[in-house]
Amino acid sequence: MNEEKKRIHISRRHFLKVAMLSGVMVTLGGIPFIHRNWKLAAAAPALAMPAPKKFPRKPMIAAENEKPGTANWRVTKPAAGQIQGYASATSVTGGDTLQLHISTQTQGQPYDLEVYRLGYYQGKGARQVFSKKGLTGQAQGWWSQQEGRHGLPEPDPETKLLDLGWKPSFELVIGEDWVTGLYVVRLTEANGYQSYIPFLVRDEQYEHDLMVQSSVTTWHAYSAWGGYGYYGHYGDETGEYLEYDDDPKNVAVKISYNRPYEQYSGSGDLYLEYPTVYWLESKGYDIGYVTNIDTHLGRVPWTPKGFVSLGHDEYYSRQMRTYVERLRDQGVHLAFFGANDVYWQIRFEDDSMQTDAGERREPKLQVCYKYRAIEEDPVEQRKLLTTEWRKINEPENQLLGQMYEGLVSQGYDWVVSNPNHWLYQGLRVQKGEAVKGLVGWEYDTVTNDIFTPANLDIIAASPLVNTKGKKAEAHTTIYRYWTNALVFDAGTIYWCFGLANPWEDARGNVSEIIQGVTANLLNRFVDVQQKES
């Protein structure tokens, strides 16, 4: 597993370059950036963000976590093609029917299906909400890193898109009493091989203090299930993973949500989000969970006091970014508990599809041309080009306060730089005090350009040497927007490992300092009185 993590999160990413900004004109090789097809056009599709209105309140998380939990939700015998699946949606609500598209390696192979809600649950980490035993498997094709594609369509030769058409295997009716949260379906076939299908339950009836966002667009970006992803591909003959630099034309520019996740037994990048969820629920915060597909569609009807981005939140559509910026403009506080966030712009090709009831369907075809965007992305509006946000003069520090800079090949110490800041209230820390190994695998830094907020506070400055051999600093920052909204950026993807380590990850280093800073921040978000200095 350690080798897989290293491959996914270091070797795939060493090619990332930091674009340079010069004044307000973005330049590429000294030439002002103008896309070859750019012309004045209509504005981007309007975001259907509801006007702020009051909803009844019903905190659920504390009571939910008092229910009996179970530690028997983990995958103990990871499948490698024996059983795999994907869901018809990333996010559902009570009463919805979620179709599960499941394939077993052999026709008729029996399997069991169990559904768990993830949380704290007395430290056990999950609660079973549904199970169905003795289902009959359908052989609809399979893939593994070592053995490649079997019984699957070939990816598109140009875009490398693989869009599966598996038949629905099971219809899961979401209980009206299923509390908002992260859920996993665990599949177990007759020989004991297991895999996950993750999904999220959102709440459209009540408003909550915190809107906590799962970053599924990034999960898909890092998945090369079926052979191709944004970062490289698997050789058909050898099964060897070839990175972007090895073969830049042999990566996907379009990916489908109609396929399982490659990472961690089908759970995507849940391992970067679950530790934070585990900690938040152990503290009883009033939470409503969403995916960034929900923010893309603007279908969350209530307005929170604070918005929390989980894990690695790298890939944003125009609509997602607009949604979060509008929250900030309404005075909603923002927290990004990762790094390298809001870095690439994406779009969805099937963004106008509707349900029979006239509602917008979840889009399934995610597009990002990345380094090839200037030459190959056919979009005509420059502002929608699927490249780095900074290359269209909308760098991430406009929102976050700081910018992604690079990668590290090991965890570096996170170092306190401003111990008198209110985020350290009650923690009795000293300048230079460190949390071991918390900075990784990507980090952010303050650039002090024209987009950097003038009132930005740096609360941690952590020396490191990045994968290019450059000495640098990772920063943790906060600023107050003119609407009174606070915007916090952890500046390290490993922030979650300082809060909790329920999966006993080797990188985990639970820290009272990180827990205390996070609690001080979120208590301010939800109006727990605190003196600011």
In tens, the pLDDT along 465-484 reads 999 999 999 999 999 999 99
Which tokens sit at 474?
């990772």
Contacts of 315 (CB under 8 A, 6+ apart): 215, 217, 218, 221, 343, 344, 346, 366, 368
pLDDT, residue 347, reads 97
Give Cα 125 to chain centroid, integer Å: 20
pLDDT in tens, 312-328: 999 999 999 999 999 99
Summarize pLDDT for 279-300 with one digit per residue, the tens. Answer: 999 999 999 999 999 999 999 9
Of the listed ranges 10-24, 328-342, 482-496, the one predicted with least confidence: 10-24
Question: Would you state the pLDDT for residue 354?
Answer: 56
| Residue that the structure tokens 């760098």 belong to | 395
Question: Which pLDDT tens digit goes with each residue over 132-174?
Answer: 999 999 999 999 999 999 999 999 999 999 999 999 999 999 9
Q: Report residue 352's pLDDT band, with 50, 70 and 90 as the boundaries.
A: low
Q: Domain for residue 66, yes or no?
A: no
Q: Please, which pLDDT band fits residue 532 given cuts at 50, 70 and 90?
A: low
Q: Answer whether residue 61 is part of any domain.
A: no
Query: What local confidence, expressed as pLDDT, does residue 235 receive?
Result: 82
* 8 Å CB contact between 26 and 383: no
Return the pLDDT at 95.
97
Q: Which pLDDT does position 400 carry in this prediction?
A: 99
Domain contains 54: no
Q: Could you tell me if residue 27 is inside a domain? A: yes
Domain-embedded: residue 49: no
For residue 27, pLDDT over 50 is answered with no
pLDDT at position 19 over 50: no
pLDDT reported for residue 351: 72
So what's the pLDDT on residue 356? Answer: 56
- Which residue range is the domain that position 466 belongs to? 2-36+71-525
Question: Are the CB atoms for 467 and 407 separated by under 8 Å?
Answer: yes
Report the pLDDT value the prediction gives residue 309, as an integer from 0 to 100: 99
Q: How far apart are CA 480 and CA 23, in angstroms?
A: 24
Nearest residue to 518 via CA among 318, 311, 279: 279
Total of domains in the chain: 1
With respect to residue 58, please indicate whether it lies within any of the assigned structural domains: no
Adjacent-strand bridge partners of 403:
445
- Burial-class residue 377 by CB neighbours within 10 Å (0-12, 13-18, 19+): buried
Residue 531, domain member (yes or no): no
Q: Name the band, by pLDDT with cuts 50, 70 and 90, for residue 21.
A: very low
Neighbouring C-beta atoms of residue 29, cutoff 10 Å = 5
At 26 the pLDDT is: 29
Q: What is the pLDDT of residues 205-256, one digit of tens each?
A: 999 999 999 999 999 999 999 999 999 999 876 788 888 777 777 899 999 9
Position 243 scores a pLDDT of 86
Whether 520 is in a domain gets the answer yes
Cα–Cα distance measured from residue 494 to residue 372, given in angstroms and rounded to the nearest whole number: 29
Other C-beta atoms closer than 10 Å to the C-beta of 27 total: 14
Weakest-pLDDT range from 43-57, 176-190, 226-240: 43-57
The pLDDT assigned to 528 comes to 63
At 16 the pLDDT is 30
Encode pLDDT of 253-282 as tens digits: 999 999 999 999 999 999 999 999 999 999
* Mean per-residue pLDDT over the chain, rounded: 89
Stretch 22-29: mean pLDDT: 28
Torsion region of 484: left, alpha or beta (phi above 0 gives left; psi -120 to 50 gives alpha): left
Per-residue confidence band for 353, with pLDDT thresholds at 50, 70 and 90: low
What does the angle CA 278 – CA 279 – CA 280 come to, to the nearest 5 degrees?
95
Bridge partner list, 86? 101
Say yes or no to pLDDT of 50 above 90. no
**pLDDT band, residue 7 (cuts 50/70/90):** very low
